[in-house]
Each structure stands twice: as C-alpha cells, then as structure tokens.
Amino acid sequence: MTLERARSAGFCFGVRRAVETAELALQAGPCCCLGELIHNSAVVDRLAQKGLRTITAPEELPEGERVVLRSHGVSRDTLQRLKARNAVILDATCPRVSRIHRLVEAAEAAGRLPVVIGAAEHPEILAIRGWCRESLVFSGAAELEEWLSKDPENPGKPITVVFQTTQTQENLISCKNLIKNVCTNSEIFDTICGATFTRQQEALELARRVDAMVVIGGRHSANSRHLAELCRSVCPRVYFIETASELDRTDWRGIQKVGITAGASTPAWIIKEVETKMCDEIKVEETVQPVPEETVAPVTEEQAAPAAPAAEEAAAPAKPEGEKSFDELLEDSIKTIYNGDTVSGVVVAITPTEVSLDLGTKHSGFIPVSEFTDDGTDINDAVKVGDTIEAVAVRVNDMEGTVMLSKRRLDAVRFWSDIEAAAENGNIVEGKVTEENKGGVVVNVNGIRVFVPASQTGLPKGTELSQLVKQTVRLKLTEVNRGRRRVVGSIRAALNQERKERAAKIWDEIEVGSRYHGVVKSMTSYGAFVDIGGIDGMVHVSELSWSRINQPSDILKVGDEIDVYVINFDKEKKKISLGHKDPNENPWKRFLDTYKVGDVANVRIVKLMDFGAFAEVVPGVDGLIHISQIANRRIGKPDEVLTVGDMVDVKITNIDMDKHKISLSIRALSEPAPAPKPVVEEAAPAYHEPESDALVYEISADGQATGVIPDED
C-alpha cells in the first residue's frame, strides 16, 4: 500500500495564529478562552493541560483576567461584556472572520440587510450576526431562493451577502448566480478563505486517483465535514476520523493506494500519528503471513518502509539484508517525476541560461537563470555549485530525461499565507514591477503576480505606466483570492499610508529650528510649498534668498530638492512656516565684517529712483546714493549720470545698524578733503555773496544731504 498526503492538509493561517496566540499567552501563566479555541478536541485538551481554561460566557471570567478570543470570533455584545469586566483581551480571531464582521457592520450602517451563507448554529456565524442588529442566514441557494420567493418585495431589498469562510465554491457560485438573476439591489463579497478552496481542490484531485481517502478533522469542524463530503462524491471509500485511534486496519484489505487530507483545525502531529499507525499496520500484516520461520530474515527499518509490496509478495522468502531484488532495481531505474512534484536537488553546473541540478533520479533538472536574476541580482551571487535547492517540476521530458523546474512557483505557494495575512492586516509589501498591461501594471511580490490598476499606481492621469517597469515599489493589497489566483494591490494607498505615518512623526517631533530636506511641490507669487516628508510647509519669497528676487520661480522649480528649517508652526491649523536662507550666510554680517564708515567700495547700480540710486555693496546688501551725492553739480535725475549695471566707486558715509541702511556718496570722492579750519580770534571771516548758479544743501547731523536751501534772492 502507498500513502499520499495532500499538500495543504492541516492548519490554515487563522487556526495556526490562534494556537500560537494561546501558547504564547500560556508562557506567562494560565488564562481563559471564551469557547473552544478551535474545533479540534485533541488540541483543546493539549492546551488545557498547559493551563488554558475554557469558559462559556464573559460572566465566568474573573475580574481583570486574561482571555483569548477563539478563531471563530465573538459578537460585539460579548466583546463589550468582556471589557466591562476589565478583561485583558488576546484577540485570536481569524483576520478573514474579522473582515466579515466589518462588512456586516458597514452594511447595516448603510441601511442594507446583511445575508450570511453558512451553518446557522456555527460559532463563526453566531459571531458574525452579533455585529449587526438584523440579519438573515441561509445554508445555500435553495433556502435563499425560498426566502426570495416568499415576498415580492424581497428581491428588491438592499442586501449585502457574505459567506462563512469554510463554505464550498460550489455553494458560493450557485448563490451568486441566483442573486444576480433575481435580486435588483445586492452586493456580494467572496469571503471564503482561499486556503479552504485550495484544500478542497487538492482533496478532490487526490480522491479521484486513490482507492480510499482518510479525512482527519474534528467532528464539529465545518471545513473538515465539507472535505469528507467532497471526497465521497468522487471516491467510494472515505474514512472521516479525528485521531489515529479511530483507524481500523481490517478496513484496508484490497486497497493499493490511500490518500490523506486534513481539515484546517488539524495539527501536523495528529496527521503524523495517523500516517505512522497506517505504516505500522502494514508491517503487522507483512509479518503475520504463513512464512516458514527459518526462511525469514530479520526485518530492517528500510525493508519496513511504507511503500511495501503487495500482500501476496510480502509472503515471499526475505532476501539477505542490503541486497535488492530485480523488481526493486527495476523500480529504481524507472522512477520518474510528475508535473507538480516538489523535488530537491544539488546544483552541479551554472550556465548563462540555466542552473543544472542533480535530483538523484534518472532525470536531470534545470531552472532558468531568469528565476534568480529578474531583480538584477548576479547569478553568481544568487546560487553556487553545491547548493541544495527545492523546486517544483513544471515540465517533464521523459524522452530526454530532463525536468524543467521552478523555484519561483514553489516560493509563491509558500508566500501565499504571508500575502493573505498582509492583506487582512493592511500591511505594506514590496515588489518589483515586471510588466505593463491593459489598465495597469503587474508587480512581482515574492513570486506572486499582483495587479495594480492605473488609478492606483500613484502616477498622474495620462502618465506613461511604462516608467514603472523594473522599479521596486511598495503597495497595499486590496484583494486576495488564492482560489482564483487573483491579487490586486494599490501603490497609491501605500504612499498615502506612509505619508500619514511620516506626517504624524513630524508633528510629534517638530521644533522651531528643525531642519528638513524637502521637495518643492508647488509655487505661488508669494512663496513655495515644500514637502518635508508627509507635510507641506510654506517658504515665503523673502525667506528663499538673501539676494533680491521678484518671485520664487526666479530660483526654484517644482520638483527641486532643497534644505529648509522651521521658522514657526501651528499644530492646530496644521501650518508650517519654513526658511531656506542660511543664517550663517547673512550678507549684512558679511558687509559689517568687510566695511566701515569712510571706506571706499566698488558697487553695482541696481535700481534708479527720482531721489537717488540703489547700489549693491555685497550680494544681498544695497546702499542708497542720494541724488545730491551722485555728482558735484546739480542734476535733475540720477539717470543723467548713472545706468543700471554700472560699476562705480563710492564712499560709505553712514551705516544705520538698526534699520540695516547704508548711505553712499560718489561726490565725496571727487571733492578734496576739507583743510583744517584756522582759528581766528579777532576778526570774523568775510562774507561773500554766493554766485547765482551755486547750490546750497542742508546737511543733517550724520552728514547726509537732506535738501536744497532755496535762494532767497
């Protein structure tokens, strides 16, 4: 007899998570569980021995005690009653079940009627119904059709349909077809667990090619019962057991091949016990045959392997230890590999196109180099001769004795649970964009194809999607259906989430003077808006440069990266004022370090006004040459002597420290320095009438000309 186990037999993600949550809780001491953690008495008993006490109602929980919520979830009322007892809640509800809770809650809030397809008395259904005030439950399409036909108004009612996570795809399809044909205001959510669908499909395929099926699972487990029902539809002999003790070896007469599968709440150690017992019973049958004692050699572990010969061959005289019969040698020589088999091999050669593996059989395996290098990795860094690699057979060529293998496909199967968990928990995943197709792009996330619609790429409308190809992106998974191999993601949602997280962090840490490296997002005539990592702050035009600029676009453009610092902020109004000018490069300080009153400077004329000319002394600092100080003669306007851009020498006649103003004079350089005034004691200086064309200026205390004194004559 030979045994073959389905690949997906045993714990699903939700059950494994629940058991691990309970075991982790028990490390800190005994605690309670509201209802049986999972539908497997062996697991529940094992956890009970470690200190997990099962209670049936919140009122049984001691005040402030720790309690584990089982994988099936609890109602909203139950949760509130636990909180009222100050319970320390360890939520082990399956994330897929929690999603259904949110769906029915949202449906009720929107004025819709939640409809649940499943077993009405199942704990999962009871918990789901506890998240809305009114709901309907139907076991399948027949009951749903009966309700729809009872009242002419029922088909027009706004209904939201969800499914128990362990329902079959057949039930989902039949209900969906009925609803689409009859109902006029419905929305349907496929909430069947992808792992459940995969397990059912594998069990069906296995049951079709074996003589008998063993289904391992709890009596109260809905998904285990569904497995048994599916197997019975294609296999005449199906044994539904909970533990190995329920096996009866007398049932195995005449059976050549047995398939084994297990429900989502069946742990690996129970599956192993069943397999071990079946193998042990095969050995018992071999040794009780009427074989003369003197001809029977001792049975070795190798000879007692599960893949034993047929019963009639077991009675043949045993061969010497270590010697193989002709049939065994023939079997080894023709041993083959089938598409879909998982194999392990040792790397024996690496070429530019493929990695060759020794599989230990007549076949030689190879994996395309592209499976190791599609992310830009060098093949010599990814794999080396002598490495052991596990992969799945995708194409067997018996004529050539070769097997094309795929490591990526095997990895994808293993990563499905991680993908589903990421979708349920809203985690961000990372992948590489491999192609652009109609309506979006495809991202490879650990070997799994994720479709991202164009509207969710984060690119502006009309932008070429091809620019994302070969780029590594981060995204959130919005839809995962393992049964249909469909995964949909959103780059935009990931960007929004990360932006919010960065913004929250900035608001928690922001201080006046904090420095950031930002990106210019937009500009106005009065300033530029800069993204500093999740938050936009405004840099006023006066804070962009120490030099005079007319508008931000004179020195910046959208997309530029600049360093900024916080001048002021308002957390309530979510506003931030930023500066870009480096205080250490203040031109006024540089001017004071270079010049003083009386110094001569070479300046550039930057602006002409009716009352004088402005000149740049150092970049960012201008001084005024009053019209009276431009020439040693009377002029009507500055442009009679000066032009914008002229370089002229001036004398610094005054510096206003408070107002940061500088007075300059060209005239002072053309006039000779005044001679010392002689001391005259006896006679006053003679008075001379000024010539008619002379100009008399009124001079202020600081030496600046403030106006012309009119000629009284």
At 286, list the tokens. Answer: 């071999």
Kindly report the CATH number assigned to the domain that includes residue 254: 3.40.50.11270
Residue ending a domain, among 409, 429, 447, is 409
Contact (CB, 8 A) for 408 and 445: no
Domain count, the chain: 5
Q: Examine the domain organization and report whether 67 and 110 are in the same domain.
A: no
Give residue-wise pLDDT tens across range 166-200: 888 888 889 999 998 899 899 999 888 777 777 88
Give residue-wise pLDDT tens across range 17-75: 888 888 888 988 899 999 888 888 888 888 999 999 999 999 999 998 999 998 889 99
State which H helix or E strand residue 126 sits in. Answer: helix 123-129
Give residue-wise pLDDT tens across range 213-242: 999 988 878 778 888 988 998 998 899 988
Q: Examine the domain organization and report whether 641 and 659 are in the same domain.
A: yes
Look at residue 153 and tell me if it is in a domain: yes
Look at residue 68 and tell me if it is in a domain: yes
> What is the DSSP secondary structure assignment for residue 500, as one 8-state letter?
H
Name the active-site residue from 36, 124, 286, 354: 124
- Greater pLDDT, 486 or 713: 486
Contact (CB, 8 A) for 217 and 262: yes
Q: Examine the domain organization and report whether 30 and 164 are in the same domain.
A: no
Give residue-wise pLDDT tens across range 693-712: 444 445 554 555 555 445 44
Give residue-wise pLDDT tens across range 507-541: 888 888 888 888 898 888 888 888 887 788 888 88
Contact (CB, 8 A) for 121 and 127: no
- Model confidence at 675, pLDDT cuts 50, 70, 90, reads low
Q: How many Cβ atoms sit within 10 Å of the Cβ of residue 610?
A: 9
Q: Examine the domain organization and report whether 517 and 528 are in the same domain.
A: yes
- Give the bridge partners for 650, in sequence order: 601
* DSSP strand pairing (159-163 vs 113-117): parallel
Q: How many Cβ atoms sit within 10 Å of the Cβ of residue 177?
A: 11
The pLDDT score that the predictor gives to residue 514 is 83
Q: What is the dihedral of CA 587, 588, 591, 595, to 10 degrees?
A: 180
Look at residue 247 and tell me if it is in a domain: yes
- Give the bridge partners for 428, in sequence order: 476
- Greater pLDDT, 571 or 133: 133
Q: Which residues contact 550 (CB under 8 A, 6 or more apart)?
A: none
Q: What would you measure as the largest C-alpha separation in the chain, in angstroms?
A: 163
The pLDDT score that the predictor gives to residue 376 is 65
Only one residue has tokens 């494994």, namely: 16
At 473, list the tokens. Answer: 């992106």
Look at residue 685 and tell me if it is in a domain: no
Kindly report the CATH number assigned to the domain that includes residue 154: 3.40.1010.20
Contact (CB, 8 A) for 72 and 97: yes
Contact (CB, 8 A) for 66 and 88: yes
Full domain range(s) for residue 3 = 1-94+214-287
| Region 201-224 average pLDDT | 87
Please return the burial class of 157, using the count of CB atoms within 10 Å of its CB with bins 0-12, 13-18 and 19+.
Answer: middle
At 668, list the tokens. Answer: 């002072």
Kindly report the CATH number assigned to the domain that includes residue 528: 2.40.50.140
Q: Examine the domain organization and report whether 537 and 607 are in the same domain.
A: no
Contact (CB, 8 A) for 539 and 564: yes
Separation of alpha carbons 225 and 240, rounded Å: 8
Q: Examine the domain organization and report whether 232 and 378 are in the same domain.
A: no
Look at residue 323 and tell me if it is in a domain: no
Separation of alpha carbons 63 and 70, rounded Å: 19
Nearest residue to 256 via CA among 473, 4, 452: 4
467, pLDDT greater than 80: yes
Q: How many Cβ atoms sit within 10 Å of the Cβ of residue 209?
A: 11
- Give the bridge partners for 460, in sequence order: none
625, pLDDT greater than 90: yes
The pLDDT score that the predictor gives to residue 135 is 93
682, pLDDT greater than 70: no
Look at residue 357 and tell me if it is in a domain: yes
Residue ending a domain, among 542, 560, 585, is 585
Q: Which residues contact 560 (CB under 8 A, 6 or more apart)?
A: 519, 520
Angle of CA points 230, 232, 238, to nearest 5°? 120
| Region 273-302 average pLDDT | 47
Q: Examine the domain organization and report whether 391 and 403 are in the same domain.
A: yes
Residue ending a domain, among 387, 409, 431, is 409
Contact (CB, 8 A) for 42 and 242: yes
Separation of alpha carbons 409 and 343, rounded Å: 12
Helix (H, G, I), strand (E, B) or coil at 497: helix
Helices 407-425, 194-208: axis angle to 10 degrees equals 140
Look at residue 453 and tell me if it is in a domain: no
Q: Examine the domain organization and report whether 597 and 631 are in the same domain.
A: yes
Q: Examine the domain organization and report whether 25 and 173 are in the same domain.
A: no
Q: Examine the domain organization and report whether 643 and 564 are in the same domain.
A: no
Q: Examine the domain organization and report whether 143 and 181 are in the same domain.
A: yes
Worst-scoring range by mean pLDDT, 200-214, 224-238, 277-291? 277-291
C-alpha distances out from residue 495 to 425, 474, 521, 575, Å: 17, 8, 16, 21
- Model confidence at 680, pLDDT cuts 50, 70, 90, reads low
At 385, list the tokens. Answer: 């001769």
Q: Which residues contact 143 (CB under 8 A, 6 or more apart)?
A: none
State which H helix or E strand residue 496 sits in. Answer: helix 491-509
Nearest residue to 535 via CA among 582, 567, 498: 498
pLDDT-above-70 percentage for the chain: 83
Residue 105 annotated as catalytic: no
Nearest residue to 200 via CA among 161, 228, 241: 228
Where are the alpha helices (H) located in 188-267, listed in sequence order?
Answer: 194-208, 222-232
691, pLDDT greater than 50: no
- Model confidence at 677, pLDDT cuts 50, 70, 90, reads low
The conformational region for residue 111 under phi > 0 = left, psi -120 to 50 = alpha, else beta, is: left
Only one residue has tokens 């936009």, namely: 536
Helix (H, G, I), strand (E, B) or coil at 161: strand
484, pLDDT greater than 60: yes
Look at residue 320 and tell me if it is in a domain: no
Q: Examine the domain organization and report whether 90 and 3 are in the same domain.
A: yes
State which H helix or E strand residue 410 sits in. Answer: helix 407-425
At 653, list the tokens. Answer: 């006649």
| Region 263-283 average pLDDT | 78
* DSSP strand pairing (561-570 vs 575-579): antiparallel
